[in-house]
Amino acid sequence: MRRGGRHYSSASSGASSNLLFQGEPEQPVVKTQIPGPKTIERRQRLDKYQDTRAVHFIVDKHASKGNYLADVDGNVLLDIYSHIGSISVGYNNPFLKEQFRNNIDDYTSAIIARPALGILPDDQWIDLIEQSFERCKPPGFTDVFTAMCGSCANETAYKAVFMWKKAQERGDKAFTQEELDSCMKCQAPGTPNMSILSFEKAFHGRLFGSLTTTRSKPIHKIDIPGFDWPAAPFPSIKYPLEENKEANNKEVQRCLEITEHLIKTYKNPVAGIIVEPIQGEGGDNWAPPEFFKGLRRITTENNVAFIVDEVQTGVGLTGKFWAHEHWGLEPGNEPDIITFSKRMQAAGSFHKHKFRAPQPYRNFNTWLGEPVKAMYLRDILKEIENKKLIENVRTTGKFLKGELEKFQKGKYSDKVKNVRGEGLFLAFDMPTAELRDQLVDGLRKEGIESGGSGVAALRFRPQLIFTQKHADLVLNRLDKVLKGL
């Protein structure tokens, strides 16, 4: 099958052809409908205890290898969704297994005697921080705060910002008795009416503070109390970029002006802003570096903290380890806090020292992360470096994006819209949400596990070991499904 002069060969992804992961399946195998009978039976069992309405299928974790995800019915799918973008170096990665075996005592002790890291860290925790978080810490940051999930990372970042802001106002003075008494009633002055500004279509989590700043879908927020915090518009970029420079520049300037106006005038003073480098759940919305440079300027001039949510975009899928590195910020002008989770396996934030809580026990919980997750991160970083996986992302991403743009300009110009993204963190829009959902379903029937974002976007979240061979196969199946829609 030819498209734009290329031949997409689904048979070319042989087990020996992927030098980044030996022994994975040659191509997808679809034996039953998906979900199949065994998935349906197990899902019914699980539904007695948990809500299963969002379950795609039941995974066979032992049969999954590399880029391929197996289910309990014997179906094997090429996975470009990666558990909502949280797996990086392959299912059943042999290097990670080897590292586990070689460090079995450390893993075992961390599992069966999990420490309360905030009060009783062991000596190994210090080494783990240096071997994992320190190795991937962005330039300009001093501290790492470890947490349990992406929502937790953002929640604790907000707390750090509020404490920093009030410490600036309070100076070296102790808390007043009025502050101590009123905070127990959730009243001022102990509970101040400050806010975190976020952006329309953003997703920052599902807890209370993070959910307030989440603005992607009503189903996330309906019935849940929220704080009175402002939302600014995120640029609505027109494509292709080279044909819409003037309009996009005006849109960026419009959004920056509204953001600055909200910071200066909102009734609950803005202590910080949070933004995603690419809005993942809200539709894979991309903005140019000029927008983020403008945010950094505005936050600096107004003494507002600048939080960048890299929960989805961190760990290399955009072609740089951290997506904010694409912005070209000058040294010393970095964001104030970077939050992370998903592909890091561990969660938390990197921040500048001034955002460490002024007193102990304030940004705190029992576990403060988990040593096992830091061990995973340590070993994942070794695999990324040894196999030059971020270089692979840049090469494969350039190829895949170019081929998707050919679909957009050619035969499928009526269906494939607004191809965008960085590296392999890619997406395109379908004309309607219904067609997008049909595309996701059609790809699954063809052995490709994918997912949507926003209203009508198909998002690509493959692993870092995804190569041009896999891209060829995806393009082949995508071509087939689009033809039938």
Catalytic residues: 203, 309, 342, 366
Rounded to whole angstroms, the Cα distance separating 418 from 437 reads 17
3-class state of residue 65 by DSSP = strand
For residue 324, what is the DSSP state?
G
Residue in 186, 351, 369, 341 with CA at minimum distance from that of residue 272: 351
CA atoms within 13 A on the CB side of 2: 2
3-class state of residue 341 by DSSP = coil
Q: Which residues pair with 69 in a beta bridge?
A: 77
Please list the alpha-helical segments (H only) found in 387-467: 389-409, 433-445
Residue in 461, 463, 314, 470 with CA at minimum distance from that of residue 387: 463
3-state secondary structure 204-250: CCCCHHHHHHCCCCHHHHCCCCCCCCCEECCCCCCCCHHHCHHHHHH
Residue in 74, 78, 43 with CA at minimum distance from that of residue 57: 43
Rounded to whole angstroms, the Cα distance separating 194 from 266 reads 10
**Residue 102 in tokens:** 């070689």
3-class state of residue 370 by DSSP = coil
Rounded to whole angstroms, the Cα distance separating 19 from 30 reads 25
List C-alpha distances in Å: 197 to 274, 291, 303.
6, 15, 13
Q: Under 8 Å CB-to-CB from 396, ≥6 apart: which residues?
A: 424, 466, 467, 468, 470, 471
Pairing of β 278-279 and β 285-286 = antiparallel
**Residue 444 in tokens:** 């699954």
Rounded to whole angstroms, the Cα distance separating 446 from 440 reads 10
N- to C-terminal Cα distance for the chain? 18
